[in-house]
Amino acid sequence: MCGIAGLILSSGAAPPDPATLTTLIEALRHRGPDGNGQTVVGRVALLHNRLSIIDLVTGDQPLFAGHAALVANGEIYNYRELRAAMPGVAFATNSDCEPPLHVWLREGPDYARQLRGMYAIAIHERAQRSVTLTRDAFGIKPLYIAQVTGGLAFASEPQALLESGLVARRVRASAREELLQLQFTTGADTIFEGIQRLLPGETLTCTDGAILDRRRVSAIPDGPPETITEDAALERLDRALMESVDLHQRSDVPYGMFLSGGIDSSTLITLMSRLNSDPVLAFTAGFDVAEAADERDLAATVARAVGARHESIEITEAMVWDHLPEIVAAMDDPAADYAIIPTWFLARRARQDVKVVLSGEGGDEIFAGYGRYRSAMRPWWLGGRAMWTHGHFDKVDVLREKPRAWRDGMAAAELAAAEGGRSRLAAAQAFDMADWLPHDLLLKLDRCLMAHAVEGRTPFLDAGVAAAGFRLPDELKLRGRMGKWILRKWLEKNLPIARPFAPKQGFTVPVGAWIKGKGDVLGPLVAAQPGIAEIAHPDRVRALFGNITRWRHGFACWLLLFYALWHRRHILGLPPAGDVFQTLSAR
Tell me the H-state helices in 165-315: 173-182, 230-248, 263-275, 296-305
Integer-rounded Cα Rg, in Å, for the chain is 23
d(CA 569, CA 330): 10
pLDDT in tens, 379-426: 655 556 788 999 999 999 999 999 999 999 999 999 999 988 999 999
Q: Is the pLDDT of residue 587 over 90?
A: no
Average confidence (pLDDT) over 3-26? 96
Instruction: Return the pLDDT at 31.
Output: 97
Edge-first strand listing for the sheet containing 68-76? 63-65, 68-76, 117-125, 130-135, 202-207, 210-216
pLDDT in tens, 234-257: 999 999 999 999 999 999 999 999
Cα separations in angstroms, 451 against 48, 184, 509: 16, 19, 20
Q: Is the pLDDT of residue 18 over 80?
A: yes
Instruction: Return the pLDDT at 92.
Output: 96
What is the phi/psi pair of residue 197, to 5°?
-90, 145
Average confidence (pLDDT) over 317-342? 97
Give start-end residues of each CATH 3.40.50.620 domain in the chain.
230-370+446-498
Average confidence (pLDDT) over 317-344? 97
* Residue 565, burial from CB neighbour count under 10 angstroms (0-12, 13-18, 19+): buried
pLDDT in tens, 143-185: 999 999 999 999 999 999 999 999 999 999 999 999 999 999 9
Instruction: Return the pLDDT at 381.
Output: 55
What is the phi/psi pair of residue 157, to 5°?
-140, 140
Average confidence (pLDDT) over 335-358? 98
Average predicted confidence (pLDDT) for the chain: 95
Q: Is the pLDDT of residue 508 over 80?
A: no
Longest CA pairwise span in the chain (Å): 71
2-216 folds as Glutamine Phosphoribosylpyrophosphate, subunit 1, domain 1 (3.60.20)
Instruction: Return the pLDDT at 40.
Output: 97
Q: Are 389 and 280 in contact (CB under 8 A)?
A: no
Give start-end residues of each CATH 3.60.20.10 domain in the chain.
2-216
> pLDDT > 70: what percent of the chain?
98
Beta-carbon contacts of 460 under 8 Å, excluding residues fewer than 6 positions away, are 244, 264, 360, 361, 362, 363, 366, 367
Q: Are 65 and 98 in contact (CB under 8 A)?
A: yes
Count of C-beta atoms within a 10 Å radius of residue 232 = 10
Instruction: Return the pLDDT at 380.
Output: 58
Amino acid code (one letter) for 355: K
Q: Is the pLDDT of residue 436 over 90?
A: yes
356-358 and 255-258 beta bridge pairing? parallel
pLDDT in tens, 28-65: 999 999 999 999 999 999 999 999 999 999 999 999 99
pTM of the model: 0.97
Range with lowest mean pLDDT among 55-64, 189-198, 283-292, 403-412: 283-292
Local confidence band at 1 (pLDDT 50, 70, 90 cut-offs): low
Q: What is the DSSP string of 171-208?
A: B-HHHHHHHHHHSS--SSB-SBTTEEEPPTTEEEEEET
Hey, which CATH number is domain 230-370+446-498, 3.50.50.60, 3.40.50.150, 3.40.50.1980, 3.40.50.620? 3.40.50.620
The residues with which 70 forms a beta bridge, in sequence order, are 63, 123
3-state secondary structure of 285: strand
Report CA dihedral (299, 555, 347, 566) to the nearest 10 degrees. Answer: 180
Which of 181, 203, 160 is closest to 2 using CA atoms? 160
Beta-carbon contacts of 396 under 8 Å, excluding residues fewer than 6 positions away, are 544, 552, 553, 556
